[in-house]
Chains A and B, each alone.
Chain A
Amino acid sequence: MCLSIALSLLLTLPAVQDAPSTERTIDLASGGQLEVNPINKGSVTISGWDREQVSIKAFHSPRIHFEIQASKRGVKVEERRPVRSALEDVRLEIFVPRETRIQVIGRIPRVEVRGVEGSIFVNTNQGDIFVSRAKGSIRLSSSGGKLRLEEVNGTVQLNTTSQGIVVDGLMGSLEAETVSGDIALSGVRSNRVRATSHQGGISFQGRLDQGGLYDFATDKGSLDLILEQPVDATFTVGTVSGDFQCDFPLGGVVPKKGERFTFSVGEGGAQIELLTFQGPIRIRRR
């Protein structure tokens, strides 16, 4: 009896994990929309490809049902589960035309979007969100999920409540905000960056654009800037009780806690504002 139960489990599990339980391919013109809403738990991976088709493979138990609707506007994928049932892992693997507008809303799934050049909007309650090799307008938000971007070109808004934000390789504008996580920005070429955290530290490694505007503020964390040469920037710095260290000459300005002070490096082109309540501020050359 036990053996038969074990055998039936062994036979059942790989079927759920290895072969898609739901599979569809739908024509979708470039510029169309993919809406995945909602996914409760598991993972969603969306990749751009060169075909004008959407391919959807969903791996899930028989208790879950996926409804896939196609219209001229786009494709909508919805997870349905029985009323009162517990949340179950599902795995969605989707390929879309590169210039698709993506919208994913989920409870606790991990969401990954790569190689998409339309717009991307992802909102999760707890799941991590990872976007790479993407272009266009990107808005990611989560209450308890980490946000990570790699090799992105566009207008980016990132917001998480209790986790960190990592951006590695961005051309475009960036707004990043978290209450209790760290924000790590590297390889950023942007003329507009705003990063805000309450509890976490903020680090920026990269080159400043001439005429760019950069605002970094944290209440409790530290601010670390590692700047590529040449640096032409005007720094406005304010800290209530944090320490200040700078590799560049301050031109006679004497830093004072509790007050803003301003100094320029080189021709002073970029405008940088650095604010901490109690964390240290460090500006270093690379």
Chain B
Amino acid sequence: MEDPWRERLSDYLDGELTEEAEAECRRHLGSCPACRNDLAGIERVKRWACQHLAKQPDVDAWPAIQRAIEALGPSSKSLPAGSSSKIAGGRLAVRKRFLAAAVVLLAALALVWRFLPAPPDRHSGQTTSATATADARALAAAAEELAQELKPLETALDSETLGDLEESLAMLETFSAEVADRLEEEPENELLREFLIRSWRMKLQVLRHAASNALNRS
């Protein structure tokens, strides 16, 4: 049976419980290591989110991630090789939880990006310098950090919202895989590359909004 206090931990942390409920929650935390652990996670996420999402929307990690995606551009070698879609798709079907999808997706993307060859320079046709590589590393690190930080948010979203998000991520994942397959056949097709980048960007936006929604919940 699910612990009813789990979904009230965020309220507790925000001081939104009545005095009586707060005292009861404190007593419960004294005897429940799982809730203590969740509480510590939520605390960590909120700190991280205040820093990255809510307070500084223009300097958070997301624009950097998006820029990095655009700067990198998918290469036909990199996409299906680690196949983020296959990894994420399999676990989605089993776990049926948005955050599992989010975490796996981000981790998989990080894995793929880590091993990306430097993208071709749009003007010279040569591989780019350290900038793109540094962007790739920064992107991978940001995605890994995000994946870790998003985990405790699972308790903060209602089931309908989780369902919506999971469905959207799965839809985008399927589409990415479809485009990636087409790109394998037509590696020079710029239009396909653009659609792939767009689908990645939209996935990240979905995750971003999910994180914001989770943090804004009651």
Chain B residues within an 8 Å CB radius of A107: 158, 217-218
Chain A residues within an 8 Å CB radius of B179: 277
By the criterion CB–CB under 8 Å, are B164 and A83 in contact?
A: no
By the criterion CB–CB under 8 Å, are A143 and B216 in contact?
A: no
Chain A residues within an 8 Å CB radius of B209: 141, 143, 159, 161
Enumerate A174-213 residues with CB–CB distance to B below 8 Å. Answer: 177, 179-180, 196, 198-199
By the criterion CB–CB under 8 Å, are A177 and B161 in contact?
A: no
- Chain A interfacial residues counted at CB < 8 A: 38
Interface residue B118 (Cβ < 8 Å from any Cβ of A): no
Q: Interface segment, B14-22, B65-73, B104-112, B123-131?
A: B14-22
Chain A residues within an 8 Å CB radius of B24: 83
Q: Interface segment, A74-82, A91-99, A223-231, A246-254?
A: A74-82
Interface residue B93 (Cβ < 8 Å from any Cβ of A): no
Interface residue B139 (Cβ < 8 Å from any Cβ of A): no
**Min CB gap A148→B, angstroms:** 18
**Min CB gap B24→A, angstroms:** 7
Which of the listed residues B17, B167, B186, B216 has the most CB atoms from chain A within 10 Å of its own CB? B216
Q: Take A141-B212, A143-B209 as given contacts and tell me if A126 and B160 are in contact as well, using a CB distance cutoff of 8 Å.
A: yes
By the criterion CB–CB under 8 Å, are A198 and B202 in contact?
A: yes
Q: Which of A40, A83, A179 contacts B18 (CB 8 A)?
A: A83
Bound complex: CA of A217 vs CA of B25, how far in Å? Answer: 49
**Min CB gap B156→A, angstroms:** 10
Q: Which of B21, B160, B218 contacts A144 (CB 8 A)?
A: B160
Interface residue A72 (Cβ < 8 Å from any Cβ of B): no
Chain B residues within an 8 Å CB radius of A144: 160-161, 164
By the criterion CB–CB under 8 Å, are B218 and A177 in contact?
A: no
Chain B residues within an 8 Å CB radius of A179: 168, 171-172, 202, 206
Q: Take A83-B8, A125-B161, A125-B213 as given contacts and tell me if A162 and B168 are in contact as well, using a CB distance cutoff of 8 Å.
A: yes
Enumerate A148-185 residues with CB–CB distance to B below 8 Å. Answer: 159, 161-162, 177, 179-180
Bound complex: CA of A159 vs CA of B209, how far in Å? Answer: 9
Interface residue A38 (Cβ < 8 Å from any Cβ of B): yes
Interface residue B148 (Cβ < 8 Å from any Cβ of A): no
Interface residue A258 (Cβ < 8 Å from any Cβ of B): yes
By the criterion CB–CB under 8 Å, are B16 and A161 in contact?
A: no
By the criterion CB–CB under 8 Å, are B167 and A259 in contact?
A: no
Q: Take A79-B218, A83-B21 as given contacts and tell me if A240 and B161 are in contact as well, using a CB distance cutoff of 8 Å.
A: no
Interface residue B205 (Cβ < 8 Å from any Cβ of A): yes
Question: How many A-B contacts are there with CB distance less than 8 Å?
Answer: 105
Enumerate A127-156 residues with CB–CB distance to B below 8 Å. Answer: 141, 143-144
By the criterion CB–CB under 8 Å, are A84 and B168 in contact?
A: no
By the criterion CB–CB under 8 Å, are B189 and A80 in contact?
A: no
Bound complex: CA of A123 vs CA of B212, how far in Å? Answer: 9
Q: Which of A80, A123, A217 contacts B213 (CB 8 A)?
A: A123
Chain A residues within an 8 Å CB radius of B186: 258
Interface residue A272 (Cβ < 8 Å from any Cβ of B): no
Enumerate A7-52 residues with CB–CB distance to B below 8 Å. Answer: 37-40
Q: Take A159-B205, A162-B167 as given contacts and tell me if A240 and B218 are in contact as well, using a CB distance cutoff of 8 Å.
A: no
Q: Interface segment, B74-82, B83-91, B193-201?
A: B193-201
Enumerate B152-174 residues with CB–CB distance to A below 8 Å. Answer: 157-158, 160-161, 164-165, 167-168, 171-172
By the criterion CB–CB under 8 Å, are A126 and B195 in contact?
A: no
Q: Take A125-B213, A161-B168, A177-B202 as given contacts and tell me if A143 and B161 are in contact as well, using a CB distance cutoff of 8 Å.
A: yes
Interface residue A105 (Cβ < 8 Å from any Cβ of B): yes
Bound complex: CA of A22 vs CA of B213, how far in Å? Answer: 27
Bound complex: CA of A199 vs CA of B202, how far in Å? Answer: 12
**Min CB gap B10→A, angstroms:** 10
Interface residue A233 (Cβ < 8 Å from any Cβ of B): no
Enumerate B1-54 residues with CB–CB distance to A below 8 Å. Answer: 4, 8, 11, 16-18, 21, 24-25
**Sample of 22 A–B contacts (CB below 8 Å):** A38-B218, A40-B218, A79-B218, A82-B18, A83-B11, A83-B24, A83-B25, A126-B158, A141-B209, A141-B213, A159-B209, A162-B164, A162-B167, A177-B202, A179-B168, A180-B167, A180-B168, A196-B198, A198-B199, A219-B195, A240-B195, A260-B190
Apart from the given pairs A38-B218, A143-B210, 16 other A-B contacts in the complex at a CB distance below 8 Å: A83-B24, A84-B8, A105-B216, A123-B213, A125-B217, A126-B158, A143-B209, A161-B168, A162-B167, A177-B205, A179-B206, A180-B168, A180-B171, A198-B175, A240-B192, A277-B195
Chain A interface (Cβ < 8 Å from any Cβ of B): 37-40, 78-80, 82-84, 105, 107-108, 123, 125-126, 141, 143-144, 159, 161-162, 177, 179-180, 196, 198-199, 217, 219-220, 238, 240, 258-260, 275, 277
